[in-house]
Amino acid sequence: MRTLGELALRHTDLKVGDLEHLQSLVSSWRILADLSFSDLLLMAPLSGDDTERFVVLAQLRPTTGQTLYATDLVGSVVGEAERPLVAKAWRSGTLVVGDAPILGSAERVRVHCIPVRRRDHVVGILVRESTTRSTRRHGDLERIYQETFDHLARMVAEGTFPFPSYDVEPQESPRVGDGAIVLDATARIRFASPNAVSHLHRIGIHAYTPGLQLAEVGFAEEAVMTALSVKLPVTEEIERGETSILLRAIPLLGGGEPTGALILLRDVTDLRSRDRMLLSKDATIREIHHRVKNNLQTIAALLRLQRRRLRSDESRQALLESERRIRSIAIVHETLAREPGGAVRFDDIVRPLLRAVEEALTSPDRRVRFEVKGTAGEIPDGIATPLAVVLNELVQNAVDHAFPEPRDPLGGRVVVELNRTDGTLALDVSDDGIGLPEGFVLEDATGLGLTIVQALVTGELGGTIEMSGGDGTHVHVEVPVALPEPTAP
């Protein structure tokens, strides 16, 4: 779908600041559609068209009523003959109300054209369209909501709504249908919707009486008073016992001064309960990884003690290699114990692993410099452990076999390069050592390290591995990487 910005740049003469104002309006106009039970269209004149034709930049359907437009009108062009009221509102810069046919139909609707003002000029027209034969019963709720919409519409025409762009509406912000309280110019309760009254009951407030101050019914009014003072919406969460109510206080302005307020309420008790459960689950998973790491380190220490008691060099070497493999897995669990979620930054594993190899295998007689290039980003925790074992084996193999004899004072060099593309992680381990033996074929290799690497890469990770010689040895590994889908809120 074409965005508002794309349509505006292609079809209008709107400047950057004007476009940002319209985008801010579209980010905030859900409240307008719900208060008016109506469809909203945002229009702007075509460039160089002398305001005879308008392009629909955005469209919104109400959640509190039935839409008039099942089809998407965004990007369509509306002529002055179809909507003369829009052209009149644009030219006059004033609110214009009247009847007109539904776009694409003969049925007539009520049309409110509201000039969208930024500073001293009009940058668009907000069009509210509602049916003239509504079957909805009109009572206090409908009347108060309509009056509140009219107030916000005047703010749009004055340029005080939407509020400045640094006012960021929370993703879980309450909507009109969740519960609404309207305050008058003296900050007294004028109306509370049935859902709002229910929310008040949940936090222990049963004395709802129109005409009272919020504090007089036991409601904390600090957020509302702050919103009226700074002339900006304020969001706050109220907790009473196990109940959590999200409150958003929106000042209603007239001539730039507060003349009332709209308070939206949403019960987020279930959301907060789920958040606490997720935090508890996350803490439990971290603790498990921490304990696994400690257990692996204990096993490595036991292997080290056992190795010291052996006299056979071959047996001691086998236990030493097993100890290193266990330590590489422990590094993964140490990282997972610090990071939440189902993914881990593999870069945070690579460097500690290389340091462990460097401390265990290098010496003054065999100097090896390690270098890391590129980045792997985040990978699923399920493949972090086998991939860490693969890297450990390849680096250890490079140190053991590429530099069998003492080198020059500068020593040898091992480079680990990571390259992440969509769905794939490439891991390259290169050294400047003696290279591969003549006639070497990876598939025929019998060493335990390379056998483990091949089994993990091609079997468990579903990837590929290639080894080439020449000036040193180069190993290229590619494995598919797909991060888990985020959990739906």
| Interatomic CA distance for residues 425 and 364, integer angstroms | 34
CATH of 4-158, one of 3.10.20.340, 3.40.50.20, 3.50.50.60, 3.30.450.280: 3.30.450.280
| Interatomic CA distance for residues 441 and 416, integer angstroms | 22
Kindly tell me the burial class for residue 138, based on how many C-beta atoms sit within 10 Å of its own C-beta (0-12, 13-18, 19 or more).
Answer: exposed
CA 148, 149, 152, 158 dihedral sign is negative
Whether 176-267 and 4-158 are alike in CATH topology: the answer is yes
∠ CA 140-144-145, rounded to 5°: 115
| Interatomic CA distance for residues 412 and 166, integer angstroms | 54
Superfamily of domain 347-489: Histidine kinase-like ATPase, C-terminal domain (3.30.565.10)
Task: Find residue 99's DSSP bridge partners.
Answer: 110
For the chain, give every domain's residue range: 4-158, 176-267, 271-341, 347-489
What is the residue whose two structure tokens read 């945070």?
Answer: 348
The CATH number of 176-267 is 3.30.450.20
- DSSP state, 185? T
Q: Which two tokens stand for residue 404?
A: 């069998």
Q: Is the peptide bond before 162 cis (omega within 30 degrees of 0)?
A: yes
- Write out the chain's pLDDT in tens, 489 residues: 578 999 999 999 999 999 999 999 999 999 999 999 999 999 999 988 666 899 999 999 988 888 888 889 999 999 988 899 999 999 999 999 999 888 877 788 899 999 999 988 999 999 999 887 655 566 889 999 999 999 999 999 999 999 986 556 666 789 999 999 999 988 899 999 999 989 888 888 877 678 888 888 888 788 899 999 999 999 988 888 888 889 999 999 998 899 999 999 998 888 777 766 666 666 766 677 678 778 878 887 888 888 888 888 888 878 877 877 787 777 777 776 776 666 788 888 888 888 887 777 666 666 788 888 998 888 887 888 888 888 888 888 888 777 766 555 566 888 999 998 878 899 999 988 888 888 888 888 778 888 888 888 988 889 999 988 878 889 999 999 875 444 443
| Interatomic CA distance for residues 303 and 321, integer angstroms | 10
